[in-house]
Structures are given as C-alpha cells and as structure tokens.
Chain A
Amino acid sequence: MTSFIIKRILLIIPIMFVVSFLVFSVLRLGPVDPAQAYLLNSRIPPTEEALKVTRVELGLDKPFFTQYAIWLKGAVTLDFGKSYMTKRDALGDLIYYFPTTLKITFLAMIMVIIVSIPLGILGAVKKDSIADKLVKLFSFIGVSTPSFWFGFLLIYLFALKLNILPPFGFDGISSYIMPILTLGLMSSAINIRITRTSFLEHINGRSAKYLKIHGVSNNTIMGKYVLKNSMIPVVTSLGMHFGELIGGAVVVEVLFALPGVGRYVVSSITNHDYPVIQCFMILMTAVFIIVNLIIDIIYVYLNPKIKYGSII
C-alpha cells in the first residue's frame, strides 16, 4: 500500500508538468495580445510604444520556451506572477477566494455521499416497493433538473416565501444550505442510480447465494459482502463527480453571490488575466489529483485485485 501511495505521489510531478505546459501553451494560442489586455485593464491607451514597454515588462518579448521556463521557475517556488487586474499576487488572490469554493464543493460531496448511498441501498433492498419507487422518482427528478433552475426554486421558496434562509451572499452557516443543495442534487441523483444498480447486482450474485445457502445471515451478507462490493463503482463515480462539483460551484457562486474563486476566475478569463488563469488551473489540477489519490486509496482498500497478483 505504501509503495502504491508513493508511486501515485511521484506521478503528480509529471502530470503537473504536462498540465502546466498545456495551460501555458493554450492560453498563448488565443488571438488576444496579453500586453494589450494588460493595458486595457490598467486603463492605459494601447499605443505601439506602450505595448512595446509592457511586453518587455511582462516578459512577453522573449521566445515562448524562455517565457515558459521563467514562469515555471517561479511556479515551483509558488510565485505565479501578479494579476493584470488587481496587480496583486495571483496565488494570494486565489487563496483568498478558494476556501469558499472548496467548502461548497466538499460539503456538496458529503451531501452526495450521505444522500445517495443510503437511498440507493434502500431502493435495492426494497426493490419494487413504494420506497423504491419514491427513490427512483427522486433520482429521475434530480437527474433532469438543471442546477441553476433548482437554485432559483430554492431561493423563491426558502428565501422569498418562507424567509428562513438568506437568498444571497455569505451570512453564516445557513448561507451554505441552498448552494450545497443546488450543487449536490444532480450528482446525488446519478449516484443513487449507480448505488442501487450495483447493490442489486451483488445481492443476486452467486457469491451472495453461496453464503445464503450455507446459513450466513442476511445482515452479514448485505452489510459486509454486498456493501463492500457495491461500493467499488460508487467510489469511482464519486471521484468523477468531484470534478463536476468544482465546475458546478462556479454557477452556484454566481447564483448565490458567494465570494468564491469561480466568479473571480470567470472575470479573469474575460480580462485575459493570464497569471490568474494559469495559477487557477495548476491549483485545480493539484486539488483534483489529491482527491483522486484519496479515491484510489479507498479503491485499493475495496478491491484487493489491484494490489495483489495471482499466486498461481
């Protein structure tokens, strides 16, 4: 297990390197001159002279690979350059906004886990009962409801009509409830289906039947054997949903006017603020890799086939 984790951690280095190169290159493929964007953001007329000075100032006059090497050298020491808009350290700005986004994402992830796994299991164990039909209905509605529309409905009901939750902005813990529900709904609905299907498959599996024939109690079969087996695809799916949740957080931050990284990055993209976009991409890659590393470790625990070879 330790060597598996070490290998996965070491793998982060080349992944980050490739991502950093791709991000740096793709941004520079765009039609917009960053020096011009910088000047416009600074409200300076982009004259030929001003553009020339700015290019030198920002290091844009150097060859592509030299620019990349300089940027990479800085990135290794966590210096991602200064934002064209705020003139502040890009990483510092993102670190200021990032906790809100991460908080929403992780809380939505927790919601997905505590809603989808029990409901999926309930649907499987009580297959074709009223409970199962309600679970399927919830899952169907959840999958087919657009997040932003669901967010509006929540605001209308809980903020405007019932007046029990704040509609916008950050005003204590209650401000997180509607954003989390909005963000987690679709992933929960999808995961309910995955959990239900996986659980059903293993309830009717031959190994469960063999144990049943030999008198092992239903509680042991369900709670130990079927549960562990059925969690393998669920954990894989949760890993993929994390990326979706982070992406969805941007919409939710706009909808509920939360001071998250999403809104800041969207405005950076509009203003061609390269240092911020590059720093954001690197940060997101790091978070995504770490979350997937955790998912992989859980996966190895659940599925021993990954860590052991055959003894035959």
Chain B
Amino acid sequence: MKEKLVSIKNLSAGTKYKQILNNISFDIYAGEILCLLGQSGSGKTMTASAILNILPENVEKTSGRILYGEKEFHSGIYGSYISSIMQNPAACFDNVFTMEEQIKDILKANNKDYSQEKMCNILEKVSLTNQQDILNSYPYQLSGGMLQRVMIAVALSLESRVIIADEPTSDLDVLGQREILDLILKLKNENSAVLMITHNLSVVKHMADRIIVMENGSIVDDFNKDELHNNKRHPYTQKLIKANESQYINKWNISFGEYNAKM
C-alpha cells in the first residue's frame, strides 16, 4: 500500500469578492508524480500556494485542512517536509545575495550541513559543473536552467518528501526542459512525492502517474495516466486533450515520442 504523504481536505480560498478555490480535496502519495492540469487561471498555482501557505496578500484560505501524514500542516512546517521548484526561477532567488549565501541560509534553517564541500556536492548531484563559481555567483548571472537545477538541488539536499513543481519547465528550451524533467523523475525515484503543475499535456504524458484536472477553481477529473484517453473522461479534460493535439498548441510543446526517436 502506498504511503500517503499529504492530504488536502475541502480546501477553499478566495478574495473578498471572488471564490478562487472550491472545495479541493486530494491526496499525494510517496513515489508518485501527481500532475495538476488545467488552463491558465484554473487554480493550479493557487492550490500550490495554499499548500505552501504563500497565498497572495488579498487571497485567504476560507476553509479546509492540509495534513502532512496525520499532522495538520501549519505555517512553519516547511523545508524538510515540503520543498518547491517554482516557475520563473530568476525571480525566486535574491539578486543582491550570492547563491552561496542563499543556499547556506536554507540549509542552516533546516539544520543541514552547510559546509562549502556539502554545497558543492549538492550542486554536483544535479549535474552542475563549476560548483564553486555558481556558489560565488549572483542569481542574475546564471541561466534559468541553472537556477531550476539549483532549486532541485535544494529539494534533494533537504530530503523533502513532497516537492511542489510549478511549471518547472516553462522558461526553458527543449533540451533544458528534458534535463529538468529527468531530475524531477530522479526525485520521484528517491520515494518523494511530486505535485507538478502544468498546462503542457506532453509533459503530463511523460511524467504523471496520476492526473487531476482543474477548471475554474474546482477539480473536475482525477484519474491515472493510462486512463487519459478513456471516453469516460470529463468533457473539459477531453477538450484540453483535443486542444493540445492541435498543431498550433503542439508547436510550443515537446513531444517526447519524437524527441526520443531522434536521440
């Protein structure tokens, strides 16, 4: 039986004027990649923000519980429990501090070894070369792909059981996307759970074990990957699949089938 790591129960959130998340419930299990799929504005990132307790200023959680195992997940239980790989990595690191200072503060806060050697080792794990140069660099001196790798390295070094990856490949070229996705698969293989947020069906097909489809802040479909083309799928899911298969959308996505064939 799979180990349940996180349970989201009846989660709702919204602003004073608008409900953004409606009664969201799902579980995240160890060793699985759960993809949250949906159009922009469907509430995927808001769900992740609610789990991480980083909702925007004007948005409040109105009801629901977030459990880590059997323990209620309050603000402050971070780092070693849940780690995040956020979209737009250039904005996630502070440009006036070196990478070393930022990684060191994260490791220190989680009582991990923050020696120079350890930090170089964790960067090596995500195939980053010239680790010392990277540590001495400021974030704006590194590429988006390098910063995404650093985020994954941080998640690995904290040994977080749950990783929330919000559009981790959105700013990367095809090769960069492939490398980051492979690293995320590595996280899964270390028996962590990955909650991946994406609107890219090709990525979902390649990565997901389970898929949750969101529309207008509600979950409309929840199924295993092999049930993706099942006729019983929710009409919205079918619409998404159809749209993704059209040429216009597909030219922006990676087709892993084609990619693998060329390799």
Smallest Cβ distance from A125 to chain B, in angstroms?
14
Kindly state the separation between the CA atoms of A204 and B54 in the bound complex, as whole angstroms.
9
A213 to B161, CA, bound (A): 14
Task: Flag if B52 contacts A213 (CB, 8 Å).
Answer: yes
**Among the listed stretches A77-85, A277-285, A302-310, which one makes contact with chain B, having 4 or more residues with CB under 8 Å of it?**
A302-310
- In the complex, which of the residues A204, A214, A228, A229 contacts B106, with contact meaning CB atoms closer than 8 Å? A214
Q: Are B138 and A308 in contact (CB-based, < 8 A)?
A: yes
- B75 to chain A minimum Cβ distance, whole angstroms, is 9
Convert B69-104 into 0s and 1s, putting 1 for each residue whose CB lies closer than 8 angstroms to a CB of A: 000000000111011101010011111110000100
- CB of B121 within 8 A of chain A? no
A63 within 8 A of B: no
What number of A-B contacts does a CB cutoff of 8 Å give?
83
Residues of A close to B141: CB separation below 8 A? 308-312
Q: Which of A135-143, A191-199, A215-223 has 4 or more CB atoms under 8 Å from chain B?
A: A215-223
Instruction: Determine the distance from Cα of A229 to Cα of B95 in the docked complex, in whole angstroms.
Output: 9
Q: Give the docked Cα–Cα distance between A213 and B102 (Å).
A: 13
CB distance from A283 to the nearest CB of B (A): 35
Per-residue B-contact encoding for A284-295, CB less than 8 Å = 1, 0 else: 000000000000
Among B109, B110, B133, find the residue whose CB has the most chain A CB atoms closer than 10 A: B109
Chain A residue nearest to B154 in the complex (CB): A214
For the complex, give the distance between the alpha carbons of A58 and B154 in Å: 75
B57 touches A311 (CB 8 A): no
When the two chains form their complex, are residues A207 and B93 in contact, meaning their CB atoms are under 8 A apart?
yes
Residues of B close to A305: CB separation below 8 A: 95, 138, 140
Contact B54 A213 (CB under 8 A): yes
Task: Give the bracket for the number of chain A residues in contact with chain B.
Answer: 20 to 34
Q: Is A103 an interface residue (CB 8 A)?
A: no
Cβ–Cβ contact B109 & A220, under 8 A: yes
A-B contact pairs, 24 of them (CB 8 A): A204-B56, A206-B92, A209-B52, A211-B105, A211-B106, A212-B54, A213-B54, A213-B82, A213-B83, A214-B83, A214-B106, A214-B109, A214-B154, A215-B110, A220-B109, A225-B97, A229-B94, A302-B96, A303-B96, A304-B96, A304-B138, A305-B140, A310-B140, A311-B141
Give bound CA distance, A214 to B106, whole Å: 6
Which of A205, A208, A213, A304 lies at the interface centre, i.e. has the most chain B CB atoms within 10 A of its CB? A213
Q: Using Cβ atoms and an 8 Å threshold, which residues of chain A touch B52? A: 209, 213
B63 beta carbon closer than 8 Å to chain A: no
- Nearest CB of chain B from residue A211's CB, rounded to whole Å: 7
Residues of B within 8 A of A213 (CB): 52, 54, 78-79, 82-84
| Contact partners of A210 in chain B: CB under 8 A | 84, 86, 92-93
CA distance A64 to B258 in the complex (A): 79
Q: How far is the CB of A50 from chain B (nearest CB, A)?
A: 65
Name which residue of chain B comes closest to A232, CB basis.
B96
Chain A residues whose CB sits within 8 angstroms of the CB of B142 once the complex forms = 311-312
Q: How far is the CA of A312 from the CA of B154 in the complex (A)?
A: 22
Q: State whether A214 and B54 are in contact (beta carbons under 8 Å apart), knowing that A207-B92, A207-B94, A225-B97 are contacts in the complex.
A: no
Note all chain A residues with C-beta closer than 8 A to B137.
311
Number of interface residues of B (CB under 8 A): 33
Contact between A215 and B140, CB atoms less than 8 A apart: no
Find chain B residues with CB under 8 A from A217 CB: 109
Q: Which residues of A contact B140 (CB under 8 A)?
A: 305, 310
Add 8 more A-B contacts to A216-B109, A311-B137 (CB < 8 A). Answer: A210-B84, A210-B93, A211-B94, A214-B78, A214-B158, A215-B110, A216-B105, A304-B95
- Do A207 and B91 contact each other (CB < 8 Å), given the known contacts A215-B109, A220-B105, A303-B96? yes
- Chain B 132-154, CB-CB to A under 8 Å as 1, else 0, gives 01000110111100000000001
Which single residue of chain B is at the shortest CB-CB distance from A302? B96
Across the A-B interface, the 9 shortest Cβ-Cβ residue pairs: A215-B79, A207-B94, A215-B109, A210-B92, A215-B78, A206-B91, A214-B106, A216-B109, A209-B54
Measured in the bound complex, the distance between the Cα atoms of B57 and A205 in whole Å is 11
Q: Closest chain B residue to A221 by CB distance? A: B105
Cα distance A214–B102 in the bound complex, in angstroms: 11
Partner of A214, one of B57, B79, B94: B79
Residues of A within 8 A of B95 (CB): 207, 304-305
CA distance A199 to B90 in the complex (A): 20
Give the residues from 59 to 97 in chain A that come closer than 8 angstroms, CB to CB, to chain B: none
- What separation, in Å, do the CA atoms of A208 and B80 have in the docked complex? 18
> Which residues of B sit under 8 angstroms from A304, Cβ to Cβ?
95-96, 138
A213 to B105, CA, bound (A): 12
With both beta carbons as reference points, the residue of chain B lying nearest to A210 in the complex is identified as B92
Q: How far is the CA of A309 from the CA of B140 in the complex (A)?
A: 9
| Chain B nearest CB, measured from A29 CB (Å) | 46
Q: In the complex, which residue of chain A has the Cβ closest to the Cβ of B83?
A: A214
A215 to B54, CA, bound (A): 12
